[in-house]
Amino acid sequence: MIKTIYVPCDASAVSLGADNVAKTIQTEADKRGIEIQMVRNGSRGLFWLEPLVEVVTGQGRIAYGPVQASDVPSLFDADFINGGAHALSLGLTEELAYLKKQQRLTFARIGITDPVSLEDYLAHDGYRGLNNALAMPPAEIVKNVTDSGLRGRGGAAFPTGIKWNTVLNTPSEQKYIICNADEGDSGTFSDRMVMEGDPFVLIEGMTIAGLAVGATQGYIYLRVEYPHSHKALNTAIGKAYAAGYLGDNILNSGKAFHLEVRLGAGAYICGEETSLMESLEGKRGLVRFKPPLPAIKGLFGQPTVVNNVISLASVPIILDKGGNYYRDFGMGRSRGTLPLQLAGNIKHGGLVELAFGLTLRELLYGFGGGSATGRPIKAVQVGGPLGAYLPESQFDTPLDYEAFAANWTVLGHGGVVVFDDTADMAEMARYSMEFCALESCGKCTPCRIGSTRGMELMDDIINGRDLAKNVPLLRSLCDTLLNGSLCALGGMTPYPVLSALNHFPEDFGIHDHANVA
Amino acid sequence: MSINKEKDFGTPASPATATVNLEIDGFKVTVPAGTSIMRAASSIGIDIPKLCATDSIEPFGSCRLCLVQIEGGRGMPASCTTPVAEGQKVITQNPRLAEVRRGVMELYISDHPLDCLTCSANGDCELQDMAGAVGLREVRYNPVETHLNALKDTSNPYFTFDPSKCIVCSRCVRACEETQGTFALTIDGRGFDSKVSPGQNQPFMESECVSCGACVQACPTATLMEKAVIDNGQPEHAIITTCAYCGVGCSFRAEMKGEQVIRMVPNKDGKANHGHSCVKGRFAFGYATHKDRITKPMVRASIKDAWREVSWEEAIAYAASELKRIQAKYGKDSIGGITSSRCTNEETYLVQKLIRAGFGNNNVDTCARVCHSPTGYGLKQTFGESSGTQDFDSVMKADVIMVIGANPTDGHPVFGSAMKKRLRQGAKLIVIDPREIDLVRNSPHVQASHHLKLRPSTNVALINALAHVVVTENLTKDDFAISRCDVASYNKWKTFISDPRHAPEATASITGVPAAEVRAAARLYAQANNGAIYYGLGVTEHSQGSTMVIGIANLAMATGNLGREGVGVNPLRGQNNVQGSCDMGSFPHEYPGYRHVANPETNQLFEKAWNAELSLEPGLRIPNMFDSAMDKTFLGLYVEGEDIAQSDPDIQHVHAALRSMECVIVQDLFLNETAKFAHVFFPGASFLEKTGTFTNAERRISPVRRVMTPLAGYEDWEITQLLSNAMGYPMNYSHPSEIMAEIASLTPTFAGVSYAKIDELGSIQWPCNDDAPAGTPIMHVEEFMRDNGKGLFMLTDYVATQERITPMFPLILTTGRILSQYNVGAQTRRTENNQWHSEDRLEIHPHDAQDRGINDGDWVGIKSRAGETVLRALISGRVQPGVVYTTFHFPESGANVITTDNSDWATNCPEYKVTAVQVTKVTHTSKWQESYQDFSETQLDLLAQGMSHG
């Protein structure tokens, strides 16, 4: 019987040597006259175990990891292809606590299937959502999404169903679906994992979105730094066209949806939806003011849905199992699941998809296992480079949009970057200003000039110059940025800066709290 | 920026008719839906601080000074980009808003040189104003990175670009895009490195910039500043007047320091230009005070003599005595005059009145003879009025625009910008031109759907082919044609045009345009909701110029494209007052208002009004004057502001005619080419030195206002009046308004026009009378202006010109204009505009150049049956093989040495656009050019002698 071996093709696994491992396994099997079937699956998202090699056994898939090429002969010697014991054996993959404790809805197939196999996708409940959607009038599709409580996973958490409804109700001859795949937040990778690990789910989600609002053209705006995603998406799109899942007559329904991947040019600001549309139109990535909302006047002036990868990839399961199924996960107004991305100074970095409601502390310690250095965790930046730093005192905040907002923190796209007690939070605040200066599109004054002044101001503060003047000035600048900026880049840079200042004043040379208030 | 601060509402007006009620700072206000909060506030006198917003361009939302709070709303939305909503309550001032605004301003000023006292924008700087408005008192930052050392770009002759003062509001970039449509400017870099960049980080002069001034106008600081302001300081008063260049007739504010014009700033309220301008009107006014201006009257007995400066009394007396002497010797009809399309309506009116009443004949003609006389004829015949049918704004409603033989982006740049804006909004474009003009594909975001690249001289065959398609494919709007037009003529025309000889397949061999292209273009035009035709001298300056105008009129009537916004037949007039000079009775057969001199009623009307005996015989046209001069029957000529010795065809014949005259009186600013043949020189006044009106291509009568004292002491109408009185025909006007009152009393279409009304309305489009007291933007709305109210279809058989290519003259020469120079160049050549275009060149297709061994820049001889001249070659794919092209802005180019005496059958408009030539590589200038050079030098010498003795 031919044995199936899984070696992830995900960029994180590849960067840890997965390609070499796969090649070595094949060579070794050939050498030993063992016939194997090699499947390059997505990543399970347990990065400290990558490359995570799995073999299919009667009990299920057994995992080995992290595997290096040099381990391969010993794995064969241990008969790993039949689940034989080995120092790297992790047992049944599904029984790994990190995975077992998760609630994988959006990531249900990732790591399990061959990402670019349509057959595999179909065999694992793929395109069931689309089939249901094809039988529904557009408003009913939108209603399912509204009922699910899904909110934009890009960070703004705007209810997806409401956005879709606006586009549905804005008459136009041409509407568009844009997938924002410009995943630029530091410490985030869930979009990439979807695109590399299960591109069909995104294609299906976008197709359903097209049916829901009456859009016949979709664009995936993909950051150029994701070549593996680019390849996987184009391969999957090609197969979807060939099989009639995309095109002028989707599954003989008479309905059309076309999809194309467009590459960005390396600007963080093009992840902001209006800049993204400017860029898609072939212009400089400059932020547009709102209103008009993209849902009314978006790409090329037409009604446009702009959704994040995770939002769109969550749509198929909603249409498959119903809005209520999805809504039953989560807490408060945060419904469903959020794929959290654990990164930075963390022992067990990776992808953790959970229903909203777990606390940050449970995530950091229950999943993450504490810091990688073993030192105390000093601060956690949640929600990307524009997210606030949470000190230990806020670790019991439940992962919930509203609970975070109440703390003047953001959940954002679910990126969690961990710092131990050696981190200098003043340097981190300076970095936030520098990031803003580097990535500012330059349109609005607060961000264009303020970020550079902020960086200079932080240099003065770090060097202990005139804190009595400069610290209040930093607050004043943050006030200008917060209230005056055109988009979230300038508008949210104060989050990391002020949270660092407020929670770690000593790093700013402030020992008398009266100065900080 | 400009003085006498024009009200800036911050964002453009909303076109909506529905209104919205809201409350701003407790005041109730009702505005059209879609209005910005900023504009709504401004409309009730609440000025919200702003820097990136200005009402000539769309809001941008970048400066973040105009933040407001809305009751019940989140955050601080920008008032420029936030539309009003019903019931909204807006707060524009409170301590929180003040704090944020000060924070923003502090950032601006942290990267701005604090040299206000020595800055050229001091007193005229929005940044300064806003710093004051928000109460900035301190900059707390210690900036490390700044732009304060950025280098100034002084490459443009008229303005400088100082990036150290730039606040990156993008108003210049947006003005270049939205207003001008050139897209020469962009923001280079991002974040703090963002900076305004002409082209690809080039100096302005090396970029695509056309120096229209829109960016300078939009700049809120000293970043883009007129050099004249840098040199002279801020102007202190402004007077609204009208540009004296092309037929667009832009309204300008002459911004003055005493009697010195500091700058010409386009008037936002100008209805022809809406605050836009081109390089000529905006910047090229320096000729008015150029050292070549002649400011003393001069006389001489022979053109071989030195000029003699004399008093006005002597000059006038001498001129009158000479004219009387000639009349006494050769008869009453032996003298005449030429009115100018450069002068005012009042001046033109007076010259023709002098000739008809004072000279006692109708020997008056005008330069429209050589440009738009076929328009006058063709449109009068078909529509009943000798003018374009639309206002310029109409183009913003057009869905398909057909441009025939015109080059708006060069010839009528401000209207060209409006047209490009409409094309960017999605209107389709058909270009009919032998040459690839910029609109075809060289204007950003504009591309013609069809370029029918016809052979010069085959216009009529092409318009017939278009009409044939419309009729035979049943694309006519019969409802319109039958209800609005003369049905018999329509039916006859349909039968005529349906004949297979007019089919595109049959005409393709004549025009060179593939039949399928013609059919597609015809369908596009005929099926448009609104199809508009714009045409220029490429239509009129042909042996069948009038036929072509009629053909255009037929096509528009048959497709129902008349009588409403967005459609029409629109001649683009070359000169500022071509329309006006024609309206004012400049033609030998017509009184003001296009009434025939032979009509006894009209004759009596004018005899009574003018208290003179008036001839019923039409007078001589310009070419007839020359012929009669050669016959020694026409020997005295009064030429006001026209340079016939450069601009008229077959120039050697013109020169010979002028030489044979006994008294040539030239009234002009400069010793122009014609003045070199003159015996009396009356120094005229530029448009800055006189009061009057110009009428532009859309029939708009706009005020010309004196902003400085005439350098020679008199406005041109005063000179004419002096001459008339000396001739014995009394004129006693004390102000041009009295002349306009007389025009209004004698001309039905002007009956309601008066200076008071022009002052009140800004400008008036004729007809203006009791039926249309505020004027008429669109003509022929209810019925045509013809006597029976019906449009007339006329048959337009194509007749090939006699000017044909032969083995000796195998190429066709056609001519045109360029943006930076203006016609004979008398004005623009005396400005820095020469930096863009310092010589006329011959455009020749690479194939034709290859055949002749001609390289780019080579001297080439151009020879026609009329003469020969030499220019440098410019090898260009814009012309088709077999066609060569040149501009005619420099007298030494001798473009009209080559052009022939062929002319339009109906109006004698010269066939400038078609001359069979041979082109060969040469090593030196032509014989004509050598003799011109000698003659010109001699004449300048004779001028210098006179002036030094004077």
Per-residue model confidence as pLDDT tens digits over B367-376: 888 888 899 8
Across the range B606-614, mean pLDDT stands at 96
CB contact under 8 A, A477 and B75: no
Using the predicted structure, report yes or no on whether residue B649 has a pLDDT greater than 90.
no
Q: What is the spatial distance between Cα B389 and Cα B64, in angstroms, rounded to a whole number?
A: 45
CB contact under 8 A, B100 and A485: no
CB contact under 8 A, A289 and B60: yes
Q: What is the spatial distance between Cα B794 and Cα B485, in angstroms, rounded to a whole number?
A: 11
- Give pLDDT tens digits for B14-51: 999 999 999 999 999 999 999 999 999 999 999 999 99
User: What local confidence, expressed as pLDDT, does residue B949 receive?
Assistant: 53
B76 part of contact set with chain A, CB < 8 Å? yes
CB contact under 8 A, A447 and B191: yes
Residue B19's CB is within 10 A of a number of other CB atoms, namely 14
- Give pLDDT tens digits for B526-549: 999 999 999 999 999 999 999 999
B194 part of contact set with chain A, CB < 8 Å? yes
Helix or strand or coil: residue A194? helix
Q: Where are the alpha helices (DSSP H) in A372-466?
A: 401-406, 425-439, 445-462
Nearest CA-CA distance, residue B449 and chain A, Å: 21
Across the range A441-445, mean pLDDT stands at 96
Q: How far from A189 is each of A203, A225, A343, A351, A358, CA to CA, in Å?
A: 18, 12, 9, 8, 20
pLDDT band at A517; cut points 50, 70, 90: very low
Q: DSSP states of B752-809 as a string?
A: T--HHHHHHHS-EESP-SSSSTT--SS-SSSS-SSTTS-B----------S----SSS
Contacts of B49 in chain A (CB under 8 A): none
| pTM reported for the whole predicted model | 0.94
Q: What is the spatial distance between Cα A119 and Cα A96, in angstroms, rounded to a whole number?
A: 27
CB contact under 8 A, B104 and A267: no
Q: What is the spatial distance between Cα B950 and Cα B936, in angstroms, rounded to a whole number?
A: 21
- The amino acid occupying position A8 is P
User: What local confidence, expressed as pLDDT, does residue B948 receive?
Assistant: 62
Contacts of A439 in chain B (CB under 8 A): 191
User: What local confidence, expressed as pLDDT, does residue B257 receive?
Assistant: 96
**Among candidates B67, B190, B192 on the partner chain, residue whose Cβ is nearest the Cβ of A484:** B67
Q: What is the spatial distance between Cα B203 and Cα B197, in angstroms, rounded to a whole number?
A: 8
User: What local confidence, expressed as pLDDT, does residue B1 receive?
Assistant: 43
> Which residues, including other chains, have CB under 8 Å from residue B838's CB and lie 6 or more apart?
none
Q: What is the spatial distance between Cα B699 and Cα B392, in angstroms, rounded to a whole number?
A: 10
Across the range B757-766, mean pLDDT stands at 95
- Max distance between CA atoms of chain B, in angstroms, equals 92
Q: DSSP states of B411-476 as a string?
A: HSHHHHHHHHHHHHTT-EEEEE-SS--HHHHTSTT---SEEE-PPTT-HHHHHHHHHHHHHHTT--
CB contact under 8 A, B187 and A438: no
CB contact under 8 A, A440 and B190: yes
**Among candidates A445, A457, A469 on the partner chain, residue whose Cβ is nearest the Cβ of B64:** A445
- The amino acid occupying position A106 is T
Measured CA angle at B592 (ends B587, B597), to 5 deg = 60
Q: What is the spatial distance between Cα A479 and Cα B817, in angstroms, rounded to a whole number?
A: 57
How far is residue B161 CA from its own chain's centroid?
Answer: 27
Nearest CA-CA distance, residue A473 and chain B, Å: 7
- HSE (CB half, 13 Å, CA atoms) of B866? 24
Q: DSSP states of B191-240 as a string?
A: GGG-EEEETTT--GGGSS----SHHHHH-SSSSEEEHHHHHH----EEEE
- Max distance between CA atoms of chain A, in angstroms, equals 76
Q: Chain B: residue nearest A283 by CA?
A: B186
Residue B798's CB is within 10 A of a number of other CB atoms, namely 22
Q: Which of B459, B462, B396, B410 is nearest to B439 (CA)?
A: B410
pLDDT band at A270; cut points 50, 70, 90: very high
What single DSSP character describes residue B29? E
Task: Give strand pairing partners of B30.
Answer: B21
What single DSSP character describes residue B756? H
CB contact under 8 A, A441 and B192: no
Say what the ipTM of the complex is. Answer: 0.94
Q: Is B601 left (phi over 0), alpha (psi -120 to 50) or beta?
A: alpha
Q: What is the spatial distance between Cα A170 and Cα A60, in angstroms, rounded to a whole number?
A: 50
Across the range B572-596, mean pLDDT stands at 92
Using the predicted structure, report yes or no on whether residue B2 has a pLDDT greater than 60.
no
Q: Which of B885, B913, B917 is nearest to B405 (CA)?
A: B913
Q: What is the spatial distance between Cα B37 and Cα B78, in angstroms, rounded to a whole number?
A: 9
Across the range A230-253, mean pLDDT stands at 98
- The amino acid occupying position B112 is H
**Among candidates A448, A459, A485 on the partner chain, residue whose Cβ is nearest the Cβ of B192:** A448
Provide the token pair at A83.
């689940």
CB contact under 8 A, B192 and A456: no
Q: Helix A494-503 vs helix A467-484: angle between axes, to the nearest 10 degrees?
A: 140
Q: What is the spatial distance between Cα A398 and Cα A331, in angstroms, rounded to a whole number?
A: 9
Nearest CA-CA distance, residue A178 and chain B, Å: 24
Radius of gyration of chain A (CA): 24
Contacts of B194 in chain A (CB under 8 A): 442-443, 448
φ, ψ at B284 (rounded to 5°) = -90, 60
- The amino acid occupying position B480 is F
Strand B692-695, strand B700-704: pairing: antiparallel
CB contact under 8 A, A442 and B108: no
- Give pLDDT tens digits for B134-181: 999 999 999 999 999 999 999 999 999 999 999 999 999 999 999 999
CB contact under 8 A, B62 and A444: yes
- Give pLDDT tens digits for B335-385: 999 998 999 999 999 999 999 999 999 999 998 888 888 998 999 999 999
pLDDT band at B894; cut points 50, 70, 90: confident
Q: Which of residues 573-592 of B touch A (CB under 8 A)?
A: none
Using the predicted structure, report yes or no on whether residue B950 has a pLDDT greater than 50.
no
CB contact under 8 A, A445 and B107: yes
Q: What is the spatial distance between Cα B616 and Cα B286, in angstroms, rounded to a whole number?
A: 44
Q: Which of B328, B427, B216, B367 is nearest to B728 (CA)?
A: B328
Do residues B871 and B842 make contact, with C-beta atoms less than 8 angstroms apart? yes
Q: Which residue carries 């419904």 as its tokens?
A: A335
Which stretches of B717-766 are assigned E, i.e. beta strand?
A: 764-765
B759 part of contact set with chain A, CB < 8 Å? no
Q: What is the spatial distance between Cα A349 and Cα A15, in angstroms, rounded to a whole number?
A: 15
pLDDT band at B3; cut points 50, 70, 90: low
Residue A26's CB is within 10 A of a number of other CB atoms, namely 15
Interface test with A, best of B11, B100, B107, B130 (most A CBs within 10 A): B107
B94 part of contact set with chain A, CB < 8 Å? no
User: What local confidence, expressed as pLDDT, does residue B5 receive?
Assistant: 67
For chain B, how far is it from start to end, CA to CA, in angstroms? 44
pLDDT over 90 for what percent of chain B? 90
- Count of residues making up chain A: 517
- Give pLDDT tens digits for A316-338: 999 999 999 999 999 999 999 99
**Among candidates B81, B140, B187 on the partner chain, residue whose Cβ is nearest the Cβ of A289:** B81
Contacts of B111 in chain A (CB under 8 A): 449
Do residues B240 and B250 make contact, with C-beta atoms less than 8 angstroms apart? no
- Give pLDDT tens digits for B809-850: 999 999 888 899 988 888 999 999 999 999 999 999 999 999
User: What local confidence, expressed as pLDDT, does residue B365 receive?
Assistant: 94
Nearest CA-CA distance, residue A18 and chain B, Å: 38
Chain A residues with a Cβ under 8 Å from any Cβ in chain B: 267, 269, 284, 289-291, 437-453, 456-457, 459-460, 469, 473, 476-477, 479-480, 483-486
Do residues B887 and B816 make contact, with C-beta atoms less than 8 angstroms apart? yes
Helix or strand or coil: residue B160? strand
CB contact under 8 A, A445 and B100: no
Burial class for B59, CB neighbours closer than 10 Å (0-12, 13-18, 19+): buried
- Give pLDDT tens digits for A1-50: 789 999 999 999 999 999 999 999 999 999 999 999 999 999 999 999 99
Q: Which of residues 152-171 of B touch A (CB under 8 A)?
A: 167-168, 170
Q: What is the spatial distance between Cα A193 and Cα A47, in angstroms, rounded to a whole number?
A: 12
Across the range B921-929, mean pLDDT stands at 89
Provide the token pair at B287.
């000729």
